[in-house]
Each structure stands twice: as structure tokens, then as C-alpha cells.
Chain A
Amino acid sequence: DTEVTQTPKHLVMGMTNKKSLKCEQHMGHRAMYWYKQKAKKPPELMFVYSYEKLSINESVPSRFSPECPNSSLLNLHLHALQPEDSALYLCASSRGLGSNEKLFFGSGTQLSVL
């Protein structure tokens, strides 16, 4: 199994809603990542988890709250989002921590905030 699975594939939410994005991998990877991608732009790194601990937070607003409950699962909790947060949210994982470890990406969650 070399897949990173993201659910849901599409999500529409209001600015007062609370929702969560889910990412799962069963490759035994110990690093997991969240990226945000606006239309026609490259992916932007948001968070990195290493061994279930937050390793990098790219000054992301607190309305985005990541969680890594175990080594296979990564969540992104969303609360009080703004319309400009509408984007493709990508999850990725890698086996280890070194620069020789490639990332495997999921197909993303397309989020629309109304």
C-alpha cells in the first residue's frame, strides 16, 4: 500500500462551521505534512509532524489546528474560516526525516468557504 488517503475529496463550509480534514497512510511513515494550494499557485507548506510531534508550523493562523493522533493519521481541524481560505489542501507523508526521503502526496481536499 503506497497510498495517502484524504477525506473528504470536496468540502463546502460556512464561516461559522467547524469541520475536519482527514489524512491516512499505512506505509509506516513517521513524518506527515499539510500543504495549502491556491488556484494556479504552487503548494505552500503549512505544518510538518515528525513522530507524531509538531515539527514545523509555518505561522499558520490558529483557525487551522492540526492533530496527529497516531503515526498513521493526520487531521486538520477548521474553525471560523474565511472565504480566502478556499483552496486545495494536500497531505503528504515520508518514511523518515532525512533529505533523502521522498514525499508521497494524497489527492487533496478541495475546500470552499462561503
Chain B
Amino acid sequence: DAKTTQPPSMDCAEGRAANLPCNHSTISGNEYVYWYRQIHSQGPQYIIHGLKNNETNEMASLIITEDRKSSTLILPHATLRDTAVYYCIVRVARNNDMRFGAGTRLTVKP
């Protein structure tokens, strides 16, 4: 199963873009990259997902490298409410499950 590697913590200034990296060098061709975030003791919140192409929605952008071995989640204008643990997950195609790694704790500072 493809595993992900993320920095344990990052800081970002309020109003600036937050760029969260993720390595998934063992990803297979039909496995999607997902990003979720979790604010203290709440359920994980879906942010975005993608396969090969870059994706954008109202919350964030997802940039996936051409070889698909890494990706970056971009929050374009971080606010204090974006402070959370961000999880990068590779969804295994055959098992229909979703397994979380350790995640990145993002702290947005005023």
C-alpha cells in the first residue's frame, strides 16, 4: 500500500498562502491522492482529491507532480480557522479503505 510522508508541523502567516507538501513515492497508477483536515476533536473534513491533474475547488488547490510521487496542498489565503492537522492520504484501489498517516499540524499565526 502506498504510504505518505508529511512534515509533522508547519507555520503560516495569516493571509499568506499555505503550501503543505506530501511524498507518496510508491503510489500506483490508479490510486487517488486525498487531503483531509481535522480541527481539534472534530471529524475529518474533506478538502480535495486528485489522480494526475491539478485540481482546484473553493477550499484549496492540489498540485500533483508529473511522476505522481509527490503533491502539494495550497490554501491560497490562510486564516486562523485553517489551523488544523492536515492529512495526505493515498486511497488504495483494491480495498476501498482510507488509511491516515501522521499528518501535518498547520498553525496559522496572526
Contact = CB atoms under 8 A, between A and B. Distances in A.
> Which of B42, B43, B46, B91 has the most chain A CB within a 10 Å cutoff?
B43
A92 B91 CA distance: 14
Contacts, number: 65
Contacts of B66: none
Given A102-B46, A104-B46, A106-B43, A45 B101 contact: no
Contacts of A44: 100
Given A42-B102, A107-B42, A107-B43, A102 B97 contact: no
Contacts of A11: none
The interface residues of chain B, by DSSP majority, are classed as loop
A33 B42 contact: no
Nearest to A4: B43
Interface string B85-105: 101000111011111111100
Interface residues of B, number: 27
A42 B87 contact: yes
A31 B100 CA distance: 18
Contacts of B100: 35, 42-44
Contacts of A102: 34, 46, 49
Interface stretch (A12-20, A48-56, A75-83): A48-56
A106 B45 CA distance: 9
A48 B95 CA distance: 9
28 contacts: A33-B97, A35-B100, A42-B85, A42-B100, A42-B101, A42-B102, A43-B44, A45-B98, A48-B96, A55-B96, A56-B97, A88-B41, A90-B43, A92-B44, A94-B96, A99-B30, A99-B93, A100-B49, A100-B51, A102-B34, A105-B44, A105-B46, A106-B43, A107-B42, A108-B41, A108-B42, A108-B43, A110-B41
